[in-house]
A and B are shown apart, each in its own frame.
Chain A
Amino acid sequence: MSHHPESSPPVYAERNYLNTPATGLKSWLFTLDHKRIGVMFLVAALIFFAVGGLFAMLIRLELLTPGPTVMDAMTYNRMFTLHGVVMIFLFMIPAIPSGFGNFLVPIMVGAKDVAFPRLNLLSFYVYLLGAVIALGGMIYGGADTGWTFYTPYSTTTTTKVVPILLGAFILGFSSILTGLNFIVTVHTLRAPGITWNKLPLFVWSIYATSIIQILATPVLGMTLLLVAIENAFGWGIFDPARGGDPVLFQHFFWFYSHPAVYIMILPAMAVISEVVCAFSRKNIFGYKAVAYSSLGIAFVGFFTWGHHLFTSGQSAFNAGVFGVLTMFVGIFTAIKVFNWVATMYKGSIDFKTPFIYFIGFLFFLFFGGMTGVALGTVSLDIHWQDTYFVVAHFHFIMVGSTIMAFLAALHYWWPLMTGRMYNERWGLVGATLVVSGFVFTFLPQFLLGNEGMPRRYYNYPERFQALNVASTAGASVLGIGFLIILVYLLVALRHGRIAGTNPWGSRGYEWLTTSPPPFENFDVVPAFERGPHEYHQLPAPGAPGAPGAGHA
């Protein structure tokens, strides 16, 4: 299904980052080109996503029946721990910032590369090292603590937590390096035309993400290190038997990990802000509001960690403070949601695959978010804490929103990155399967939570079975959906239709260059005289940025 039947066939940019300065494995492994590094991050992240997804499927399979189904308790406990660790530290945190961020941020600010290309490559190898150590730990023993590593269990268990802790610790450095790189890039490498108020919203959001990565990650690093030391040498920092305070660990952990959840959603919002404009062919409604609310999230997100400790016997005063602040953090997301919806007003909406994912994203973010706020109301959290309601909450947001956004990004920028189109029809099929399968998987889990089924349960009373079966059924649809996506994307790599410059008729700066982009991003650096989300008064057909440009 050709995009502009009338126009002449689009051209594939022959001189591009995939073949210049060189081709071959070596030229990739030692590349300093942010685009190639971004692609490598993406590939790695997708592989880990598949691994984490495999674990997820096994979890769902085990939960099919109340008793033992396919594995023993010890295996199950390792399974959900590894699932959480892989999905969060190996997939979700690097996926959008280090993957798409690396590819796009420099292009979007009209730079040739990130500020510190060497650090950038280092970041990738640090990430691989961390991943290898963590996975190594999984293969030889694995840990059974849950991704939250709560002490004193994590310091007393006989399973191999230390390698996994070290792995996560090292991964933290990758995250810090990348964040640092982006902040400096945005500050110092913006092309002359691009003022702060003409910064693409994608960049704004990634910028906010980077701030969180820099401020929060070191604390997590230290905390994980303490647990590792504790586990290995028994220094007693978190060990009640030695006067340590196990709850202190939870404060440290969540001081990082609550902001970390915004490390996982802000990049998703970054993608969505771009997608909604491109496919509504419409300027963003409330640019400033959307841009600054990202900073708001980054800031307020640092003061709500206590909402994970409502049942830990924390004082009523603390609970109150953290509770109120939790109410406020929701607002910034609300602003974005409303503005995205309003952006469609008077637009010209094109229902392509990325837009379908946008719809899914909106739906899941809304319900995931609202349930989050509901959890913040303290008294309800007392009932829901550590039940499947929480599991459903964060899957709605992390799988629901973030993965939808991730897939939207994958399809939206696929032509730019590969120079080819994926099959739109299959794209729609995949999107429908993923979205619906997702609802079936996690909606029942909210009800399970209400009914009182605790999480991390290997066996459960009969009365919970019906809903669990429903959830497992949904999960299999989800899995099939992902496999379809995987297949047609791989096919598109070789046989996809040539995309040509700016096939979507988007106004984003990244589309001003040819696809795939040349080695240093622009053959001629444009003047960037208009904003990145301006769609009114289209320029003369054929001019860069006009719908169908590059076909003439």
Chain B
Amino acid sequence: MNDLLRRLLFLPTQLSEHARDVDGLHFFVVVTTMVAGLLIFATALAFMIRYRRRSEGETTPEVQPKHWHEAVFVGVPLAFFLLWFAIGYPQFVETTQPPPGAMDVFVQGKKWMWKFAYQGGPSSLDVLRVPVGRPVRLLITSRDVIHSFYVPELRLKLDALPGRYTQTWFQPEVAGRYQVFCAEYCGLSHSGMLAELVVMPAAEFDAWIADQRRGEARAQDAALTAGEQGLPGSSILEQGRRVAADQGCLKCHSVDGSRHIGPTFIDLYGRKEKLTTGEVVVADEAYLTRSMMDPAAQLVAGFQNVMPSFQGRMSPPEVASVVEYIKSLKTPAVSAGPSEGPVYEPSPRK
């Protein structure tokens, strides 16, 4: 029954108990509406047929309502509406009260990507990995404008507000991959601000996160040594890659040649770029750096002027590392799966 109605209403699968409850209310609402509608329109139809005009001169009597008529007109709907609310409101309140001991995930919206950070653990772009059967609390915020974290299968949605945290929680019951949408309009690629919710068996998840933590540690001291001695080498590229990911370059620039919001990075270095002005420039270090600091100055033909300036948002060593990273991207290169956070790829061969 539940499943039949669900399919009839095009509702996605129910990933949590909350989702099931909400659908319960949904069905109740639909049924009351349909019944009420049927009654009202059946009556209307009956009147239309019974009282259709038969002759031009026809006259009609005056009919006035009794008080109880109006009482019913008010009472019946109000009763149902309040009943709906009495069911729906507690369901909402429940989502605002995470159970103690829920696993915290910090969610950060940013044009146009989702970043998920685990306590003391790794952070990932556009993939949220959670264990089956454990409560997860999301602490949601935004770095720029308002976004909204939305997973239909969870019947859950919450705005990501700049400058403050909002929280909600869920407990997924079925392993699998589900889509995360951005449900608050946030500009050019609002509809591209998708992420993936990966629900894994608990054991698998534990293994994964432990592994990630180790990886993090390694990467960190790698970055450290690189910082200290400033040697070129895998570490600076690794850092450049991470900076590019954190800063969100890779959200608009692919590293696999595919055209995104921005031109791909691969083989960018040394490439002849045609600008909107018609002139052609060679993408050297200077150009690359300028493009980051003042993107509007030289627009690549066929692209929107939407790249934010990173003036002051990246330290000089970071900029340098990104430039090095871009230079290192030559075909054949490791292709970045769209939803896999590039942070976790093996560093490119050189």
Contact = CB atoms under 8 A, between A and B. Distances in A.
Q: Do chains A and B touch in the complex (CB under 8 A)?
A: yes
Interface of A: 4, 72-74, 77, 144-146, 150, 152-153, 156-158, 240-241, 246-247, 280-283, 285-286, 289, 310-313, 316, 319-320, 323-324, 327-328, 330-331, 334-335, 337-339, 341-342, 344-351, 359, 362-363, 366-367, 370-371, 373-374, 376-380, 382-383, 385-387, 447-448, 450-452, 454-461, 467, 534-538, 547-548
A363 B36 CA distance: 12
Interface in B275-333: 304-306
A289 B70 contact: yes
A157 B187 contact: yes
Nearest to A3: B56
Interface in B163-214: 163-164, 166, 179, 181-192
A459 to B, nearest CB: 5
Given A380-B26, A459-B191, A547-B57, 8 more contacts: A282-B63, A285-B63, A310-B92, A319-B92, A324-B85, A374-B84, A386-B183, A456-B190
A64 B151 CA distance: 24
Contacts of B81: 327-328, 330-331, 373, 376
Interface in B145-175: 145-146, 148, 150, 152-153, 155-159, 161-164, 166
A373 B187 contact: no
A419 to B, nearest CB: 22
Closest CB pairs A-B (n = 8): A452-B152, A240-B163, A377-B88, A313-B166, A379-B91, A457-B191, A344-B47, A536-B62
Contact of B186 (A153, A313, A347, A447): A153
A404 B29 CA distance: 26
A349 B47 contact: yes
A342 B53 contact: no
Interface string B73-103: 1100110011011011111110110000000
A382 B152 CA distance: 10
A378 B26 CA distance: 11
A467 B10 CA distance: 10
Contacts of B184: 150, 386
How many chain B residues sit at the interface, stated as a range, is 35 or more
B61 A346 contact: yes
B159 A313 contact: yes
B155 A382 contact: yes
B191 A156 contact: no
Contacts of B153: 452
Interface stretch (B38-46, B232-240, B266-274): B38-46
Contacts of A280: 51, 60
Contact of A367 (B37, B70, B179, B188): B37
B12 A452 contact: yes
B88 to A, nearest CB: 3
Contacts of A367: 33, 37
A459 B190 CA distance: 9
A240 B92 contact: no
B33 A383 contact: no
B78 A281 contact: no
Given A385-B157, A447-B9, A311 B191 contact: no
Scoring B81, B152, B163 by chain A CB atoms within 10 A of each residue's CB, the highest score goes to B81
29 contacts: A74-B304, A144-B187, A150-B184, A157-B187, A158-B305, A240-B161, A241-B163, A246-B146, A246-B162, A285-B63, A311-B148, A320-B89, A327-B85, A335-B70, A342-B63, A347-B60, A350-B53, A362-B41, A366-B41, A376-B85, A377-B89, A380-B88, A383-B152, A383-B156, A385-B183, A386-B183, A454-B191, A456-B190, A535-B62
A48 B286 CA distance: 50
Contact of B60 (A73, A348, A387): A348
Contacts of A344: 44, 47-48, 51
B59 interface: yes
B349 interface: no
A323 B89 CA distance: 8
A72 B189 CA distance: 10
Contact of B47 (A152, A324, A341, A447): A341
A247 B64 CA distance: 48
Nearest to B78: A331
A281 B87 contact: no
Given A146-B185, A339-B73, A311 B9 contact: no
Contact of A77 (B41, B69, B187): B187
B216 interface: no
Given A74-B304, A313-B158, A327-B81, A383 B47 contact: no
A452 B191 contact: no
Interface of B: 9-12, 21-22, 25-26, 29, 33, 36-37, 40-41, 43-44, 47-48, 51-54, 56-65, 69-70, 73-74, 77-78, 81-82, 84-85, 87-93, 95-96, 144-146, 148, 150, 152-153, 155-159, 161-164, 166, 179, 181-192, 304-306
B78 A327 contact: yes
A311 B158 contact: yes
Contacts of B304: 72-74
Contacts of A347: 47, 51, 60
B192 A459 contact: yes
A115 B202 CA distance: 74
A150 B185 contact: yes
A247 B85 contact: no
Contacts of B63: 282-283, 285, 342, 345-346
Contact of A366 (B25, B26, B37, B51): B37
Contacts of A323: 85, 88-89
Nearest to B142: A240
Given A316-B93, A349-B47, A379-B25, A374 B33 contact: yes
A227 to B, nearest CB: 13
B153 to A, nearest CB: 8
Scoring A240, A334, A452 by chain B CB atoms within 10 A of each residue's CB, the highest score goes to A452
A153 B12 contact: no
Contacts of A310: 92
Contacts of A459: 191-192
Contact of B51 (A73, A345, A385): A345
A341 B74 contact: no
A241 B145 CA distance: 10
A271 B60 CA distance: 22
Nearest to A343: B63
A428 to B, nearest CB: 15
B93 A313 contact: no
Nearest to B191: A457
A77 B62 contact: no
Nearest to A336: B73
Contacts of B44: 341, 344, 359, 362
Contacts of B162: 152, 240-241, 246
B161 A312 contact: yes
Contacts of A77: 185, 187-188, 190
B62 A379 contact: no
A547 B73 contact: no
Contact of A281 (B58, B84, B164): B58
Contact of B56 (A4, A320, A537): A4
B53 A349 contact: yes
Contacts of A320: 89, 93
